[in-house]
Amino acid sequence: MKLNKSATELLNRYMLGVKRELGGRERDDIAAEIESYIYDLLEERHPGDREIGREELETILKEMGSPRKVAGQYSPQRYLIGPRLFPVYWLVLRIVAAVVAGALTLSLVIASSINPPADLIKTFVEFLSTIFDGILSAAASITIVFAIIERATEGKRLEEIEELKELKIDELPELPEEEKPFSLVGISIEAALGVLGLAFFSYIRGTGGALPVILNPNTQMHMARVFTDHYLGFIPVILGLTGLEVARNVTLLVQARHSSITNWWDIALKAGSMVLSGFMLGALPLVTLDYFQSIFQVSDLNRWNATANTALAVILGLSIFGNLIEVIRKIVREIRNPAY
């Protein structure tokens, strides 16, 4: 008995998913035992020398369940959170720990860029303590919640947990030789836009927040101050994040493929943008229309300034929400199916 090409690929992807869920020194031995069991089931149901196709194998794999479910049967006994909930608990714990550590780190970087600390060593020690306390508190909260769920639902069937145990072929990890879609043109455009962004924000920083304005072709160009000092304080951080984005795009162009490093790089940048937007919301007003008061004879300038900054606040709020959803989605995908 042998598997055709499609079935062999499916089995390899399934076993790769199982290995990623297993831990300990006996991981390879356990994986080999599981694979041997699958072959035994195939031999039992499809005796003879005929070639086994994807459909026959898929039927057996769906009966066995997801790689997380199969691997959980070989996990050591956990006393606080049982094997039924532990895979989900471990996934949530890793995601929250990464988000907490990243958010606290980026908060420190942005705060230090705006107001440089007087004592770097003391600030760094306090930062490490904050990171440790934040992750420990988050882990403790999650553990307590899952422990309560474990006790409250003992002997009961949880639909959400059972759904995670079901095999979903589309969620199996890709094999090493298969790479995620890569758009050379798209990455090139992003890199070019990033370079333009660096030039623009550097220009803004050099002019003190002023932009050139030509109201009449026959008149001389004027410099209108549009951005406030509050906004200018964020320019170094914006330049740093933009520069890192350009560096990531250049890395993608050089290696011509996505990798786990570039994916986590992207997650960190989006988290950084989210934290930066939060700081900017707390620093309003960021723009001013004072220059246009005498030109357009604006009678109620404060209302126009308030409207402009309110619109900017809405944009920043939507940016935070969008980046939060994207960061969570990318972290979950990278943990479940990391790139190579």
Please list the alpha-helical segments (H only) found in 115-181: 120-152, 159-165
Q: Inform me whether the pLDDT recorded for 337 exceeds 70.
A: no
pLDDT at 179: 44
Looking at the fold, whether 56 and 100 belong to one and the same domain comes out as no
Write the pLDDT tens digit of every residue in 121-136: 777 777 778 878 888 8
The residue among 31, 50, 72 that closes a domain is 72
Single pTM value for the model: 0.50
Cβ contacts of residue 228 below 8 Å, gap of 6+?
A: 209, 285, 286, 287, 288
Looking at the fold, whether 93 and 225 belong to one and the same domain comes out as no
- Residue 128: which of 108, 145, 147 has the closest Cα? 108
Percent of residues, the chain, with pLDDT higher than 90: 0
Pairing assessment for the beta strands 222-225 and 210-213 based on DSSP bridges: antiparallel
Write the pLDDT tens digit of every residue in 12-61: 888 888 888 776 677 788 888 888 888 888 888 887 767 888 888 888 88
Cβ contacts of residue 279 below 8 Å, gap of 6+?
A: 107, 110, 111, 114, 234
Task: Please provide the size of the chain in residues.
Answer: 340
Looking at the fold, whether 144 and 216 belong to one and the same domain comes out as no
Cβ contacts of residue 210 below 8 Å, gap of 6+?
A: 223, 224, 225, 226, 227
Task: State the virtual CA torsion across 256, 259, 263, 264 in degrees, nearest 10.
Answer: -140
d(CA 282, CA 265): 26
Burial of 331 (0-12, 13-18, 19+ CB in 10 A): buried
Looking at the fold, whether 207 and 291 belong to one and the same domain comes out as yes
d(CA 101, CA 205): 30
State how many domains the chain has.
Answer: 3
Looking at the fold, whether 90 and 62 belong to one and the same domain comes out as no
pLDDT at 82: 67
Residue-number span of the structural domain to which 104 is assigned: 86-167
Establish if 176 belongs to a structural domain.
Answer: no
The residue among 72, 96, 131 that closes a domain is 72
The residue among 142, 167, 192 that closes a domain is 167
